[in-house]
Amino acid sequence: IDLEQYPTGPHIASRMLYTAENSFGDVSDKVVADFGCGCGTLGLAAGLLGAQHVIGLDIDDQSLEIASINADDLELDMNFVQCDIKNFRWRDQIVDNVIMNPPFGTRKKGADMDFLSVALKVASQAVYSLHKTTTRDHVKRTALRDYNASSAEILCELRFDVPCLYKFHKRKEVDIAVDLWRFVPQNSQVKRL
């Protein structure tokens, strides 16, 4: 519950990766990191779309174990790193792009922004991320002003289906409006298409 682990559904995952690849060429032959990878849905999709290499990062060792099994089942060569994104440090920008469905910050205020801050430091080209639509102004302002993004663009608004997973959930499922963002770091070496 504290980690806000909700699975990224196939519709959203396919929409994210299809858009990243077909609109921007940000998956095929790229090094991609999946922050908060959980069972690996986004990273596995990147691998299936021809990413050069995929690295999945998550704090939960059980999720990483499942992600590793999923990668083996799909015959994808991925690396997995157990870490707390807030304390994670890469010396250089060793990934081209970061894809992520971060915690929305419902339980721990600002959790999504912690992920975004680190992602913009390690990605050399772009960050694709889901954030609640209700936080749209804050996300854009913070990314541009505080996290050195050169651009913050909403690619589309999606409905994120949150199934009844925990005891405190009262309804069978809830749809949450989320924005699919594409952020470009200040030091990006890629020109917009």
What local confidence, expressed as pLDDT, does residue 49 receive? 96
CA distance 51 to 62: 24
What local confidence, expressed as pLDDT, does residue 12 receive? 83
Whether residue 39 contacts residue 67, with contact meaning beta carbons closer than 8 Å, is answered with: yes
What local confidence, expressed as pLDDT, does residue 21 receive? 97
Whether residue 119 contacts residue 167, with contact meaning beta carbons closer than 8 Å, is answered with: no
What local confidence, expressed as pLDDT, does residue 168 receive? 54
First to last CA, the chain: 39
What local confidence, expressed as pLDDT, does residue 193 receive? 38
Amino acid (1-letter code) at residue 148: N
Q: What share of the chain is helix, strand, coil (3-state, %, to 5)?
A: 35, 30, 35
| Residue 160 backbone zone (phi > 0: left; psi -120 to 50: alpha; other: beta) | beta
Per-block average pLDDT, block size 10, for the chain (193 residues)? 60 90 97 95 96 95 95 96 86 86 72 92 95 94 95 89 55 76 82 41
What local confidence, expressed as pLDDT, does residue 192 receive? 41
> Around 83, how many Cα atoms within 13 Å sit in the side-chain half-sphere?
16
